[in-house]
Structure 1
Amino acid sequence: MAEIRKPVINPAELELEHWQQGAFFESRDASFGAKLGLKDLAIGYGEVPSGKSGCPFHNHHIEEELFIILSGRGEYRFGPNRYPVKPGDVLGAPSGGPETAHHLINTGPEPLKYLSISANAKAEIVEYPDSGKFLAKSRETPGAKPVFRFVGRKDSEVDYWDGEPGI
């Protein structure tokens, strides 16, 4: 079991990591489920600036996600639809194919602040419908750093027996 440092955490007291990728993706965020002693739930806090998104449009094949909007306004892109979101809204992202792909976009003037809660599976496949990529990863234990992680595209697929000795 993860060491419980404190059974209560206020997101306003977290040390946030700031990152930016290109012109559209930017966030200040922190993961803190392990700090609460949780091993099967991942919990994060994010602050996304106006006009930005904290992640690419994606779907999970194994893990489910839940988002709780704390402040700000945005748009929840889910499958082929877009939904306006505001403080107090709870957003579901079930596992599945591209029909469950999702991401949040800050459409308001102030930071969009939210909690994200997800299953913390030992293995996961994530698809990125906008770019045609996928991510495969596995961990020895839930919440640990991946022991295997690969990002690629299906067009690099090979036959199951490709490269095997004696074939």
Structure 2
Amino acid sequence: MTFNPLVKAADIQAGLKQASHFLNDNVSKRTLCLSELAGMTDLGVHFVSLPPNKSGCELHHHYVDSEWFYILRGSGRLQLAPCVMESSERSGMAPLPGAVEVREVEVGPGDFAGFPGAVAGTGRAQGETPLAHTFVAGTEGMDYLVGGTRNAFDVCVYPLKGKTLLRDVVGGARAIADYGALHDVPAAAMAAEQPK
């Protein structure tokens, strides 16, 4: 196959695949990894299309990888919450309802959001609490680009679920921690989630 750095708009629309999230039934999106089509493996750039009132992913934060979003079409809400990896008082369970305060910010075309990884050297101020995030489309749906670094290992925290995902990008292994116990996640349960 001949290398082609250009991914045409028609190819993007034709290549979109339906995806969900193993932790959130409200996630429904069509997505395509543009960077892989252009031969780029050290970072990920995805085109994402959300139907009306659907979420793009479970509220989360990457502790290693940095992640950014650029809204192309439609409007919606960016949901933000402080993200800490500490155990809740109910070890091994999701935080109590209301224990994680989620705030919402309206977003629309041209808006950009960036979330640096929380490890040293990523631009985050020392001691600053990272923000977990997700997008929820408005009544007309929403299209956006999402991209980020692709480190060999990443830790992704889901504060509303009380879970932490450990991901070995190179080896393909994944495990999930319930703030107290670590257990393997069946590959089939994670198949719909697109790595960045």
TM-score (norm 1): 0.80
Q: Give the whole-Å Cα distance in 1 for the aligned partners of 2:162 and 2:142.
A: 27
Q: What's the RMSD between the two structures over aligned residues?
A: 2.3
- Confirm or deny that 1:154 pairs with 2:179: yes
Q: Give the whole-Å Cα distance in 1 for the aligned partners of 2:30 and 2:39.
A: 23
Report how far residue 39 of structure 1 moved. 1.9
- Confirm or deny that 1:92 pairs with 2:114: yes
Q: Give the whole-Å Cα distance in 2 for the aligned partners of 1:147 and 1:90.
A: 30
Report how far residue 110 of structure 1 moved. 1.7
Cα pair 1:46 1:113 within 8 Å, conserved: yes
Q: Give the whole-Å Cα distance in 2 for the aligned partners of 1:136 and 1:53.
A: 22
Amino acid at match of 2:134: H
| From 162, 165, 181, the counterpart of 1:135 | 165
Match of 1:41 in 2: 43
Q: Give the whole-Å Cα distance in 2 for the aligned partners of 1:11 and 1:67.
A: 19
| From 113, 135, 148, the counterpart of 1:104 | 135
Amino acid at match of 1:153: D
The number of residues matched between the two structures is 150
Paired-residue identity, %: 25
- Confirm or deny that 1:10 pairs with 2:12: no
Report how far residue 148 of structure 1 moved. 1.4
Q: Give the whole-Å Cα distance in 2 for the aligned partners of 1:50 and 1:98.
A: 31
What are structure 2's unaligned runs of at least 5 residues?
A: 82-101, 119-127, 183-196
Q: Give the whole-Å Cα distance in 2 for the aligned partners of 1:114 and 1:10.
A: 16
Cα pair 1:11 1:45 within 8 Å, conserved: no
What's the secondary structure of 1:33's corresponding residue?
Answer: helix
Cα pair 1:4 1:37 within 8 Å, conserved: no
- Confirm or deny that 1:126 pairs with 2:156: yes
Report how far residue 111 of structure 1 moved. 2.1
Cα pair 1:70 1:88 within 8 Å, conserved: yes
| From 48, 61, 64, the counterpart of 1:62 | 64
Amino acid at match of 1:18: Q
